[in-house]
Chain A
């Protein structure tokens, strides 16, 4: 279809202006992270100061950042593995078995999807205190091992997978759980890939719950440490931005590699309704 091209330049101007606005703050972060630690953050210094990796080195030698990174990765992996397994199991139950109690399970999934999670910060805090898991990895992992969006995503995918292979295996006398994990699960790989990326990202960036459910350095995650880093003395922007860059870099790299899965994870949620 031939379209008028009169406004093409206007379109590109708008697009490039948008691009500049969107990347500028992130570039600013990397620039400050690579500045001399002593220099003030003025426009002149931003333009002229030399590039150095010292701030990153300092974080690992003089700060606990290694520990925070480890915590973020450990919690992130545990939650992701949990979600792959449990969202799959629940989604399979919802997609393949239909009777009343199952409907109730499905309704509870939809309800939680609509509930604003931040309203349970008080009871969750009390619960972790009473259960003795406050300030442990468990408090950061257990509540998030299975999530409604993940269940939705996998259920939707499963509904497009014909049950013929499962039925054939069932005829051959294979057990339910064997069918589930050796036949159906491999078929769901694309959906599970989307799910795990989404869960890992969400967890990696999460702040409120990790913050209120922990208090010691050996369980606190990177975003929590960064948010509290500010408070100590006058803000040390170079080191703070270096820490921020460490929190952002894995996400940027992963995004560059698996952009397609991330995008389809986002839009899957939107199309379902």
Chain B
């Protein structure tokens, strides 16, 4: 069937071309220049071996970026996952007004990240809404606003991020909950299992594939946090994350393409390892909880 093979090839061509030019080539290219001192304005560039990688791990800015990224990922994902699951459980059974709640919870997920970051910049500002709330409950807000303080800037951005992403993961949890057959709960009810027992023995174990999916996509996304940092703090006050570092070293003042590409590959490896780890942890047959 020569002709059908040719047809399939022609049909797949848009992807083959896009993949080659905009994915495979950039990936190989940046891997290669990661071993050079290539800069935008330099006349020529040289092979430097592993120097970029060695320098990265003695660069305080890069180490701080790794630390901030891990704080961001480790501090947002548990909250996002638990709150999203709680919301999904509240909205799982049908009742009057469920659609409205579901839609509103989801609203921030389709709103532009830039817009959300701008709104929260205002809310977090000096004498702004959040500062007033903090004072109301007897907490002294940072003098120049939450985003201008090393102790609060990153955590404020993280809180916003949880706020904005819970709705999305709630929807995925809802889809997962819907797939659990009602008969299981009926049987559990008949044999006298309470609500909590049902949750831990039926709901959680059966949600495991969904949970795995959510953790993996959320960590792939969270390791790449950039827009909110760029808009809200420009990486100041201990908020620079890894993608911010890549952007800052590669596409501002020095345009150090080689150095930034090496940093990108470090991030790539971290994300890859993290995904594999989660995959193995959640793939085990015995319940983890």
Contacts of B7 in A (CB 8 A): 93, 97, 176
CA distance A204 to B111 in the complex (A): 10
Indicate if B128 sits at the interface (CB-CB under 8 A). yes
**Contact pattern, B 259-286, Cβ under 8 Å of A = 1, otherwise 0:** 0110011011001000100000000000
Indicate if the CB atoms of B112 and A90 lie closer than 8 Å.
no
CA distance A204 to B114 in the complex (A): 11
Indicate if A267 sits at the interface (CB-CB under 8 A). yes
Indicate if B289 sits at the interface (CB-CB under 8 A). no
Contacts of B16 in A (CB 8 A): 105, 108
Instruction: Find residues 30-58 in chain A having any chain B CB closer than 8 Å to their own CB.
Output: 32, 41-43
Contacts of A251 in B (CB 8 A): 110-112
Interface hit among A59-67, A138-146, A159-167 = A138-146
Shortest Cβ distance from residue A246 to the other chain B in the assembled complex, whole angstroms: 10
Size band of the B side of the interface? 35 or more
Instruction: Find residues 77-113 in chain B having any chain A CB closer than 8 Å to their own CB.
Output: 87, 90-91, 93, 100-101, 103-108, 110-113
**Contact pattern, A 243-272, Cβ under 8 Å of B = 1, otherwise 0:** 010011001100100010011001100110
Indicate if B26 sits at the interface (CB-CB under 8 A). yes
**Contact pattern, A 233-251, Cβ under 8 Å of B = 1, otherwise 0:** 0010100110010011001
The closest CB in chain A to the CB of B86 belongs to: A14
Indicate if the CB atoms of A29 and B115 lie closer than 8 Å.
yes
Indicate if the CB atoms of B127 and A42 lie closer than 8 Å.
yes
Indicate if the CB atoms of A208 and B226 lie closer than 8 Å.
yes
Shortest Cβ distance from residue B206 to the other chain A in the assembled complex, whole angstroms: 14
Size band of the A side of the interface? 35 or more
**Contact pattern, B 110-130, Cβ under 8 Å of A = 1, otherwise 0:** 111111111111110101110
Using A18-B87, A22-B104, A97-B5 as known contacts, say yes or no to A248 and B15 having CB atoms under 8 A apart.
no
CA distance A90 to B12 in the complex (A): 4
The closest CB in chain B to the CB of A125 belongs to: B251
Indicate if the CB atoms of B271 and A116 lie closer than 8 Å.
yes
Shortest Cβ distance from residue B60 to the other chain A in the assembled complex, whole angstroms: 21
Quick one: which of A93, A121, A201 contacts B11, CB cutoff 8 A?
A93
Contacts of A43 in B (CB 8 A): 129, 132
Shortest Cβ distance from residue A44 to the other chain B in the assembled complex, whole angstroms: 11
Using A28-B129, A116-B224 as known contacts, say yes or no to A122 and B264 having CB atoms under 8 A apart.
yes
CA distance A84 to B271 in the complex (A): 30
Indicate if the CB atoms of B15 and A151 lie closer than 8 Å.
yes
Using A126-B257, A204-B112, A270-B175 as known contacts, say yes or no to A121 and B246 having CB atoms under 8 A apart.
yes
Interface centre among A15, A122, A207, A248 (most CB of B within 10 A): A122
Indicate if the CB atoms of A116 and B172 lie closer than 8 Å.
no
Shortest Cβ distance from residue B171 to the other chain A in the assembled complex, whole angstroms: 5
Indicate if the CB atoms of B15 and A118 lie closer than 8 Å.
no
Indicate if the CB atoms of B213 and A273 lie closer than 8 Å.
yes
Indicate if the CB atoms of A230 and B231 lie closer than 8 Å.
yes
CA distance A197 to B90 in the complex (A): 28
Indicate if the CB atoms of A244 and B118 lie closer than 8 Å.
yes
Indicate if the CB atoms of B112 and A121 lie closer than 8 Å.
no
Indicate if the CB atoms of B8 and A97 lie closer than 8 Å.
yes
18 A-B pairs within 8 Å (CB atoms) are namely: A21-B163, A22-B108, A25-B108, A25-B116, A25-B123, A25-B163, A86-B18, A90-B11, A105-B16, A120-B30, A122-B33, A127-B22, A145-B18, A207-B112, A247-B112, A248-B111, A251-B112, A270-B176
Interface positions of A (Cβ within 8 A of B): 1, 3, 11, 14-15, 18-19, 21-23, 25-26, 28-29, 32, 41-43, 85-86, 89-90, 92-94, 96-97, 99, 101-102, 105, 108-109, 112, 114-127, 142-143, 145-146, 151, 176, 180, 201, 204-205, 207-208, 212, 223-224, 226-227, 230, 235, 237, 240-241, 244, 247-248, 251-252, 255, 259, 262-263, 266-267, 270-271, 273
Across the A-B interface, the 7 shortest Cβ-Cβ residue pairs: A123-B26, A93-B11, A97-B8, A86-B14, A267-B175, A119-B264, A205-B112
Beyond A26-B111, A230-B231, list 14 extra A-B contacts (CB 8 Å): A1-B186, A97-B5, A116-B268, A121-B247, A122-B246, A123-B25, A123-B27, A123-B30, A201-B110, A208-B247, A227-B118, A263-B106, A271-B179, A273-B213
